[in-house]
Amino acid sequence: MNANALARALSSALSLPITAKSDARTGTTEFRLEGMSRPHGFSIVVTQLLSRVKAELQLDRLAADLLRVIGEAAPERWLQVAEIARAYESLGAQFQILVNGSSVDALTSKELTGNVRTFACTGSLMRTSVDESNSDVFMVSEALFSFIICLLPLDADQETPPELGNVDFTFASEGQKYSVLATKYERSRANRAAAIAVHGNSCVVCQFSFDESYGDLARGYVEVHHLVPVSSMGGARPVDPITELVPLCANCHRMAHRRWPPYTPQELSEARMHSASTQKHFQQCVGIVSEPDIRISPTES
């Protein structure tokens, strides 16, 4: 497994700087969020077995401040974690998220908010084949990163995705205030990653793929469109990456927002089909598209 290549792919997908380190002795690979220095942060540790891939969130020894911040997450953030887990589970992955030893699904918002003493998260995915890109390792690692990112106070109100390295995580000593400073980020890195995992990174309207057109320069890139405009949601609420988010190329995304409410992907597809049909008819009328060459043999004249 090329750990550094996977770290670059995760960094691109989540718009956060992620590093990787493999341990040949244990057969594990550790991914970390760059800037969250030990012993106050966390790692995602991945183990590849013959039949499946396992990933585990491991908190550092002095991660009490991180736990406190997770405990301060608003109830809708926990609901969003559940939505993102459901999106990845639709692809065959399985997860267990425990707070204070109990499954998150069994806890009320009151039990979650301000009362997180322990936080554990594991994921696994059955291996149907082994490919060079290690897509199974990528998926479970991306999912676990997405869960914890959802619970951190990363502002999510701006449209512009960040440049890697623009995020600065600052940890004070244990017991003192933990702060996360971030600039230029999308509404939700985690939602975006889950939507692309489910729907792929080709435009759902025109099937344009940045990967195919630009290669490594655009690996994994596509714009993600909210089918329900954020301004129409009536306040913070969980977003379903399966039914409410779709990948669009830059052109189709621009066209979607040419009116209010935005055009739906279906309307854009119909507009493209109508435009193509009209253009073909026009070309035939002016002779751009030649008629079939019909020849009459001498015996037929």
Q: Work out the mean pLDDT of the chain and round it to a whole number.
A: 81
Distance CA 217, CA 226 (A): 25
Strands 223-226 and 179-181: unpaired
> Residue 111's pLDDT band (boundaries 50, 70, 90)?
confident
* Whether the predicted pLDDT of 155 surpasses 60: no
Residue 58 burial (C-beta neighbours within 10 Å; 0-12, 13-18, 19+): middle
pLDDT confidence of residue 35:
82
Domain ranges of the chain: 3-197, 200-287
Per-residue confidence band for 153, with pLDDT thresholds at 50, 70 and 90: confident
Sequence-separated (6 or more) residues with CB below 8 Å from residue 29: 1, 3, 6, 20, 21, 22, 23, 45, 46, 137
Task: State pLDDT tens for residues 56-97.
Answer: 999 999 999 999 999 988 888 898 999 999 999 999 999 999
Per-residue pLDDT of 243-281, as tens digits, reads 999 999 999 999 999 999 999 999 999 999 888 766 665
**Within the chain, where are the H helices?**
3-14, 64-71, 75-89, 109-112, 135-151, 189-199, 210-214, 250-256, 265-285
CA 23/CA 34 separation, integer angstroms: 18
Structure tokens at 39: 């012993």
Do 126 and 112 touch, CB atoms closer than 8 A?
Answer: no
- Give pTM, 2 decimals: 0.75
pLDDT of residue 174: 28
Residue 184 and residue 166: Cα distance in Å, rounded?
8
- If one counts every other C-beta atom within 10 angstroms of the C-beta of residue 154, the result is 19
- Spatial CA neighbour of 13 closest among 279, 197, 243: 197
For residues 120 and 122, give the distance between their C-alpha atoms in angstroms, rounded to a whole number.
Answer: 7
Confidence (pLDDT) at 164: 34
Backbone angles phi, psi at 124, to 5 degrees: -150, 155
User: How many Cα atoms within 13 Å fall on the side-chain side of residue 301?
Assistant: 5
Residues 196-214 have pLDDT tens digits of: 999 999 999 999 999 899 9
How confident is the model at residue 178, as a pLDDT? Answer: 36
Give yes or no for a contact between 32 and 11, defined as CB atoms under 8 angstroms apart.
Answer: no
More confident residue, 260 or 109: 260
Q: Which residue has the higher pLDDT, 297 or 206?
A: 206
**Which positions ≥6 away from 25 have C-beta within 8 Å?**
none
Q: Which region holds residue 152: left if phi is over 0, alpha if psi is between -120 and 50, else beta?
A: beta
pLDDT at 125 over 70: yes
- For the cut 80, the answer to whether the pLDDT of residue 8 exceeds it is yes
- What is d(CA 261, CA 263) in angstroms, rounded to the nearest whole number? 7
The pLDDT of residue 74: 86
121 contacts 97 by C-beta, under 8 angstroms: yes
